[in-house]
Amino acid sequence: MTYLAAAIDLGSNSFHVTVVDTSQAPYRVVSRVGEKVQLAAGLDEHSLLSQQSIARGLACLERLAPMLEKVSPKHRYVVATNTLRVAQNRADFTTAAQVILGVDINVLTGEEEAALIFTGVISDLSIAAHKPYEKLVIDIGGGSTEIVVGKNSPKHLQSFAMGCVAFSHNYFPQRKITKTHLHNAIEAAQTIIESSQLNPSSTSEAIWQGWQVCIGSSGTMKALIALSALEEGGMPYLNRASMANIEQQLLAFDYLDDVSIKGVREDRGEVLPAGYAILMGIMRSLNLDRIYFSTGALREGVLLRALQHWV
């Protein structure tokens, strides 16, 4: 007999469903599906979601819902991130979405999201060699970016309101790619990190030190590391030199909608310049060079945290 569970991630750029069989420890992935929704693109200056974006998101859930038919509602774990965290009218979406999914939606705080991402990252067997080390984890999403420092549990974590969908809108006017636009976005990300504070007496430099290895997770990082095509001991990574090469590839395109690079998923291309800029800004502000990749992230963290409470 199989024991199915599902993690549903209602992100600012994409919605994802991962169904797993928990009869073997910790679990076996049965199916994994995601769709670009770009919910964050529907937020206006008053943090109100447009009816068009709400309809787009609900239509996506209608398509994804059949994946959950064999999963008991009590084992469906639905989380929402930055866009639904900040949307003033989020109930217009969540009320209907909960009917479609048959379960309540947990709208995560930024700190909860960061902690779950860290749980997913450290569970990833592909980074087992890094287990003994203090880790700096970076996850760039559609609406927010999470940074965590810790070894087996978070010591410091923070969620920043900068994501690749919002940056695409704010720093690439008319969706045009120019060196000026790209560098303005990099400088904006760098400024956000450098001016961040966890408490009035702590600067970002003090907060984000003491780590020994840097690890990135989720779609933007996966695409950038794939383009870097660097590997050490079977572990893919990127560095400043490979990022410089990626910048030149991105500047070869005139508009966000034109970005199409071999090895990058088609629906990732248009947000890649913004994702690149955010990561480059973080690398500059924290003086990073080498970043490895983890396949574990938010959904894996959600599942592992949930399974701890199964009886």
Distance CA 255, CA 273 (A): 10
Q: Is the domain 4-107 a CATH 3.30.420.40 member?
A: yes
Average pLDDT over residues 56-82: 96
The domain segmentation of the chain, as residue ranges, is 4-107, 111-298
Buried b (16+ CB within 10 A) or exposed e, 212-242: ebbbbbbbbbbbbbbbbeeeeeebbbbeeeb
Please state whether beta strands 4-10 and 76-80 pair in parallel, antiparallel, or not at all (unpaired).
parallel
**Average of per-residue pLDDT across 266-273:** 92
Which superfamily is assigned to 111-298 in CATH?
A: Exopolyphosphatase. Domain 2 (3.30.420.150)
User: Strand 213-217 vs strand 291-294: parallel, antiparallel, or unpaired?
Assistant: parallel
Q: What are the DSSP calls for the chain, one per residue?
A: ---EEEEEEE-SSEEEEEEEETTSSS-EEEEEEEEE--GGGGB-TTS-B-HHHHHHHHHHHHHHGGGGTTS-GGGEEEEE-HHHHH-TTTHHHHHHHHHHHTS-EEE--HHHHHHHHHHHHHT-GGGGGGTTS-EEEEEE-SS-EEEEEESSSEEEEEEES--HHHHHHHHSGGGB--HHHHHHHHHHHHHHHHT--SSTT--HHHHT-S-SEEEEEHHHHHHHHHHHTEEETTEEEE-HHHHHHHHHHHTT-SBGGG---TTS-GGGGGGHHHHHHHHHHHHHHHT---EEEES--HHHHHHHHHHTT--
Average pLDDT of span 212-218: 96
Work out the average pLDDT over 218-228.
95
**Over residues 172-184, mean pLDDT:** 98
Q: Given pLDDT bands bounded at 50, 70 and 90, which one contains residue 266?
A: confident
Q: Is the pTM of this model over 0.85?
A: yes
For residues 90-119, average pLDDT: 97
Q: Supply the mean pLDDT for the chain.
A: 93
Q: What is the pLDDT of residues 75-101, one digit of tens each?
A: 999 999 999 999 999 999 999 999 999
Same CATH fold assignment for domains 4-107 and 111-298 = yes
